[in-house]
């Protein structure tokens, strides 16, 4: 039995507060899925955060070297909330939503062998209800594994981009911007 097992009974109440309060970092896989399913240009799906806006230390490997400085790629916002949050509090991109959104508000703690040792909830204060049917720990673990693999691949791509950016700077070539990075990502995930 995993500590915090009772949290599997959490059921979203549809309040939309997570979509208003949180910024969602996305990976190349999230972006590719959103572009394919929603048929929107990638630049409309993405926002960029500066290091001062997030915990730079914990996210440093995901920061992209851009002409304006290092930036963290996140899901775009409109009117102070995720751009996909509709007036009725529903997600307008639910089937294509990022992996971080899929696993929210669950936090899996793991040991060195990647076995789940504890389950917690991430800031669900006032949000969610206790449901009668519990979510499957196996399903949650599978989603967390998928999220971890996507993030590892993304960090590798960002590292490659950043090395190329440093090389371009040394050679005094024009720095590549956000659009170039998005094209680089989409080429990498196709």
Across 129-142, average pLDDT: 77
State the CB neighbour count (10 A cutoff) for residue 108.
Answer: 22
Among 134, 165, 132, 102, which residue's Cα sits nearest to residue 7? 134
CB within 8 Å of 138: residues ≥ 6 apart: none
Per-residue three-class SS string for 119-164: EEECCCCCCCEECCCCCCHHHHHHHHHHHHHHHHHHHHHHHHHHHH
Confidence of residue 7 (pLDDT cuts 50, 70, 90): confident
Model confidence at 133, pLDDT cuts 50, 70, 90, reads low
Cα–Cα distance for residue pair 137/186, rounded to 1 Å? 32
26: nearest Cα among 45, 40, 39: 45
Q: Exposure pattern of 119-158 as b/e (b: 16+ CB <10 Å)?
A: beeeebeebbeeeeeebebeebbebbeebeebbeebeebb
**pLDDT mean over 128-144:** 78
Where do the structural domains in the chain lie, given as residue ranges? 5-123+135-188
Mean pLDDT, the chain, integer: 89
Residue 22 has pLDDT above 80, yes or no: yes
179 token code pair: 């659009």
> Is the pTM for the entire model greater than 0.85?
yes
Cα(64)–Cα(53) distance, rounded to whole angstroms? Answer: 14
Per-residue pLDDT at 121: 86
- Element (DSSP H or E) covering residue 169: helix 137-170
**pLDDT tens digits for 85-132?**
998 888 999 999 999 998 888 889 999 999 999 998 886 556 766 665
């Amino acid at each position: 039995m995993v500590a915090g097992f009772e949290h599997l009974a959490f059921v979203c109440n549809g309040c939309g507060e997570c979509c208003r309060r949180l910024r969602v970092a996305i990976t190349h896989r999230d972006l590719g899925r959103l572009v394919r399913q929603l048929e929107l240009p990638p630049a409309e799906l993405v926002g960029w955060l500066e290091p001062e806006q997030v915990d730079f230390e914990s996210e440093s490997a995901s920061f992209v070297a851009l002409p304006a400085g290092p930036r963290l790629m996140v899901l775009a916002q409109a009117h102070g909330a995720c751009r996909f949050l509709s007036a009725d509090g529903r997600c307008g991109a639910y089937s294509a939503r990022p992996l971080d959104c899929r696993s929210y508000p669950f936090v899996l703690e793991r040991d060195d062998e990647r076995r789940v040792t504890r389950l917690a909830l991430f800031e669900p204060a006032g949000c969610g209800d206790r449901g009668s049917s519990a979510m499957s720990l196996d399903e949650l673990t599978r989603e967390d594994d998928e999220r971890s693999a996507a993030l590892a691949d993304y960090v590798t791509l960002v590292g490659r981009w950043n090395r190329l950016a440093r090389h371009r700077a040394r050679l005094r070539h024009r720095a590549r911007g956000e659009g170039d990075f998005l094209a680089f990502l989409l080429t990498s995930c196709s």
